[in-house]
Amino acid sequence: MRVLQIIQFNFIALLLLSSEVFSQKANLEADSVKTQELISYLSKDNIESHLRYLASDDLGGRGMLNLGNSKASSYIQNHFHKIGLKQLNNSWTQIFNVYQPGYSKMNIFNENDTITKENILMMFGQETSTSEVELHYLNQLTLKDIAGRKLKNQALALKEYNPMDQQIQVPDTHAKFVIFIAKDQKDLLVHRIRFSSMMGNRMYLSPQERFNDLNSLALKQEDIFSLLGKEKQALIEKYDNLSKKERKQLSTSVTIELEYENLEYNNENVLGYIEGTDLKDEFIVVTAHYDHLGTKEGVVFNGANDNASGTSAIMEMAEAFKKAKENGIGPRRSILFIAFAAEEVGLLGSEFFCQNPLVPMEKIVANYNFDMVGRINKKYDDHPNYTYLLGTGEQSKQFYKVNNEVHQRYMPEFTVDLKDPENLYKRSDQYHFLINKIPIAFFTDHCMKDYHLPSDDSDKINYEVLYQRTKLGMMMIWEIANRNQILN
């Protein structure tokens, strides 16, 4: 009798288990049908159209110092309005100011010549003064060159020194100014761009001090020669054969005028959302920055990959999600789309939003950020169907697991690279969500070719791969938006 009861119990348990498995399979198949219909609203042509406009010369590189930035903002706002997203606080924008330590006045002159602001690159320092100093020319900074020399309140012009590349302790010389000599106008422009992208373009959400007390700047070689005079220029041409005494003669008196101040610029994040259903008070935040480097000395930095690609992706995702909802496939949680400003100058748009959130931070379930998603890393030249997906396990192992399940279920042939030896997940707007303990997923191509160069143009974008990355991101967002439980 007992054996019969055990058999009956096991049979009933097996029926229940089979029923549960069948139910789960049915639910999975239903979810799959919804997901496939959802992504059918995604258009590669729309992504390309948005990108080509945002990366066109008409927008001047989407820099905050020209109208291109506001044109890009208006374009995104109009799109959000046209497709029927909802506003937060009755506005499409979140306005904020940023501050840049800079110089309103820079002149270097003597009886031989006057060098004005447009030909001077100020790298470090926070000097406001008119200084009469002795300018010394050196081919390179070595202990031999400066041994025994009294350099306090003087200026060193260094042909083979670049403060961005070398860790030479120039302040130990007590020099008041250090001048890096650029070969020509093109070289000066390259260093201006490079410095701006690395650190000189850094801005803040409040007025700030500059980086350090050393006043470092760059001049063209011809301007240094002009200040020194023709006789000393002739000596420089045979510098290597000069005695130590002769090298000391390569100097001249100059006046350096500087006025330091914090420059203020207006910026705006662009926001719109799709309202969820039973979990509408919780939010998935989908982001990309729309700003870039602008125009420098007449050269437009269109920023097609950085980051017209990510901006175009989230604009098209917003439209696809909205069309799906209108056709009965809407998310349970709300999905908030944010195009951030001022990323290139220090991730300031996302920092401001996280400090002044328009939805409660504790109600943000996850952040998906798209930054540089349109090119191919050389590692994947022979297999372009890939994306880097970074940071997914930093705050939630479950978040990583769910995203991985979506990848394996719908796009297993598409490579997802999780390796991040350079900690890129800390170098875009998702970082400010991460430090607020919100799970993040950072989509990027990790392609540095043409990075922050004028050659980052729309014709170099791989639109098919951009579409595939957008599609994968959309499916992951959909899964998180409809889960029963919040991630842990």
pTM here is 0.77
Distance CA 477, CA 327 (A): 18
Cα 257 to chain centroid distance, Å, stands at 34
Span 137-162, pLDDT tens digits? 887 655 455 555 667 778 888 776 55
Residue 169's pLDDT band (cuts 50, 70, 90): very low
Residue of 241 and 341 predicted with greater confidence: 341
pLDDT tens-place string over residues 228-285: 998 888 888 888 788 878 887 888 999 999 888 888 999 999 999 999 999 999 999 9
Query: What is the percent of the chain with per-residue pLDDT over 70, rounded to a whole number?
Result: 85
Q: How long, in residues, is the chain?
A: 488
Sign, Cα dihedral of 205, 164, 299, 449:
negative
CA distance 58 to 60: 6
**Beta bridge partner(s), residue 335:** 274, 284
* CATH number for the domain formed by residue range(s) 103-260: 3.50.30.30
Q: Is 109 exposed, middle or buried (0-12, 13-18, 19+ CB in 10 A)?
A: middle
Q: Is the pLDDT of residue 344 over 90?
A: yes
Report the relative pairing of strands 415-417 and 386-390 from DSSP bridges: parallel
Give domain limits for the chain. Answer: 39-86+275-481, 103-260
pLDDT digits 0-9 by tens, 351-372? 999 999 999 999 999 999 999 9
**CATH topology identical between 39-86+275-481 and 103-260:** no
Chain centroid offset of residue 201 CA? 12
Task: For residues 103-130, give the mean pLDDT.
Answer: 86
In CATH, which superfamily holds the domain spanning 39-86+275-481? Answer: Zn peptidases (3.40.630.10)
The reported pLDDT for the residue numbered 168 is 45
What's residue 103's pLDDT?
A: 81
Please count the other Cβ atoms lying within 10 Å of the Cβ belonging to residue 129. Answer: 11
List pLDDT tens digits, range 368-389: 999 999 999 999 999 999 999 9
Give the lowest-confidence range in 99-103, 138-142, 287-291: 138-142
Lowest mean pLDDT among 97-101, 185-189, 298-302, 313-317: 185-189
Contacts of 109 (CB under 8 A, 6+ apart): 115, 227, 254, 255, 257
Q: How confident is the model at residue 213 (pLDDT cuts 50, 70, 90)?
A: low
Distance CA(303)–CA(56), nearest Å, equals: 9
